[in-house]
Structure 1
Amino acid sequence: MSMLYYDLHIHSCLSPCGDKDMTPANIAGMAAVKGLDVIALTDHNSCRNCPAAMRHAEDLGITLIPGMELTTSEEVHVVCLFPTLEAAMDFDQYVYLHLLPVKNRPDIFGEQLILDEKDQITGTLEKLLINATDIPFYRTEALVAGFHGLCFPAHLDRSSTSLLSNLGFIPPESTFRCAEIRDLTKLHQLRRDHPYLESCRILSNSDAHYLWDIREPDLQIPCASRSIPDILEVLSAPPAYIQHAGDRRD
């Protein structure tokens, strides 16, 4: 069993709110500089920069999980992770069809840049990616599983765009076994208020939109290997587990 330093919620310059320096090469490079083992690229409602990012991460010995931060019809943010690039890109196509038909205004919201393996711009997306889809939260788990992935609610402790801020509760039919909290000092209170979280593996990711926000190597997950399937298997099973930097790595 190995302990892997992680950051599983990172945005690139494809997200209109992401800095232009958040290119696939720069993200992988910063993760390597910081000593992370596994990262996930999770742009708003799109996976289009995952192909280039995976190539750069592979060259640097980092596992990059292709993913997306899906916005549900209730404007709840959900991190979706996939075992293969093919599955992620299939999900990308599905989500884009269900994204509300509002055009991006780069002068207001920012550019939505698709980059290749040389960090060259190859295209943009017309629809505004930070908008909601018509996919309700209750459908997300089964929907993502249909693309062989897993999902979990993002930044539960945020006052907006989170499951708890927007719905006010964890739906009783939920089956997710992983959840994200930005401030771990709030975990005890959240578990007391929402006992469902006792059965969840709790992650704390950066939700980085700037290179300097990518997480330092201070949290780890235990895993049999660095392969994406092994990592997703760990994330799909309880119990909650957080290990801090300074603990011995196998």
Structure 2
Amino acid sequence: MKLNFDLHLHSCLSPCGGEDNTPANLAAMCALAGLDAVALTDHNAVGNCAAFCEAAGDNGLVALPGMELTTLEEVHVVCLLPDLDAAAVFGDEVYARLPPFPNDVHIFGPQVLMDAGDRVLGEEPRMLAGAANIGVYEVKALVERYGGVCWPAHIDRPSFSLLSNLGLWDPGLGFGFAEVSRACPADFLNRDDLRGLHTVTASDAHYLDQIMDPCQSVDLPSRSAAALLAWLRCPDFRLYSRF
């Protein structure tokens, strides 16, 4: 079963996320764009995942809860969890390892928590834009402890990426693949340290108009979050296509 996917999306909980990127709006726009499988990956937080997953289900989408973790080295890593319970516990651990600074709404904007009906539940008071006290070499084992899977985000970008901050791809990190932006140069993966590296693409949408039309799909045995997560844990890129 072919599923078009985008597994890096932000809601109004993320710093600098659009206030109209509510869980319900985001899910509806993903469905209108022709996506089948999606994940909410707010910066260092999972507080809107329950609302988004419910709204995504209402729109016929397969959804996974997740987070875009900022490591100690300021490397962004997409982390997806198997269910909301695992996401909540993982979120608590990350929260406890964030700097205890308040959010400055004048710089980063409000960090809004909502339910699936887009009713405001409150605002996250702690600054989510900081780096957690979690090293990039620690991330994979930490996420797997909660049954999840993770990969470095937008490695082709000049900031908050593994390559911009560490300088090279180290297989010792244990990541099986990486994410590149849709605007990634065609020759980017010709670097010696990246030869043979498999990649996925994501919109990293912080605003509704950044949700992109499908550009990738995967064939799965069933239309389910469990099947998608199983593929991500051990991806068979023979079944993966960009179009």
TM-score for both structures, normalised by structure 2 = 0.94
Q: How does 1:31-50 map to 2 (within 5 A)?
A: 31-50=30-49
User: 1:178-207: per-residue Cα shift (whole Å, max 9, x none)?
Assistant: 210004653543243324x6253x111000
Q: Secondary structure at the match of 2:67?
A: strand
Structure 2 counterpart of 1:229, which letter?
A
Q: Secondary structure at the match of 2:110?
A: coil
Match of 2:196 in 1: 198
CA distance in 1, matches of 2:204, 2:145: 25
Q: Is 1:15 paired with 2:14?
A: yes
Which SS does the other structure have where 2:173 is aligned? coil
Q: Distance in 2 between matches of 1:117 and 1:172?
A: 39
Residues 45-65 of structure 1: CA deviation (Å, up to 9, x unaligned): 001001011111111110111
- Contact conserved, 1:198 with 1:240, CA < 8 A, in 2? no
> Equivalent pairs: percent with the same residue?
45
1:1-250 maps to which residues of 2 (within 5 A)? 2-183=1-182, 185-186=184-185, 188-195=187-194, 198-200=196-198, 202-240=199-237, 242-245=240-243
Moved more, 182-191 or 94-103: 182-191
Contact kept? 1:222, 1:234, Cα under 8 Å: no
SS in 1 for 2:8: strand
SS of alignment partner, residue 198 of structure 1: coil
Alpha carbons 1:177, 1:235 under 8 Å: kept: no
Contact 2:43 2:129 in 1 (8 A): yes
RMSD over aligned CA atoms reads 1.6
Per-residue deviation at 1:96? 0.4
CA contact (8 A) 1:101 1:127 kept: yes
Stretch moving more, 181-190 or 216-225: 181-190
Q: CA deviation at 1:140?
A: 0.0
Q: Secondary structure at the match of 1:9?
A: strand
Q: Which residue of 2 aligns with 1:248?
A: none
Secondary structure of the residue aligned to 1:88 is helix
- Go from structure 1 to structure 2 and tell me whether the alpha carbon gap of 1:78 and 1:71 turns closer, same or farther (over 3 Å shift): same
Contact (CA 8 Å) 1:199, 1:238: kept in 2 or not? no
Unmatched segments (≥5 aa) in structure 1: 246-250
Alpha-carbon separation, structure 2, partners of 1:186 and 1:67: 27
CA contact (8 A) 2:178 2:197 kept: no
C-alpha separation in 2, matches of 1:138 and 1:151: 12
Q: Aligned AA for 2:128?
A: L
Q: Please, what TM-score do these two structures have when normalized by structure 1?
A: 0.92
Letter in 2 for 1:112: Q
Unaligned runs of 5+ in 2: none
The answer to whether the 8 A contact 1:178-1:235 is kept is: no
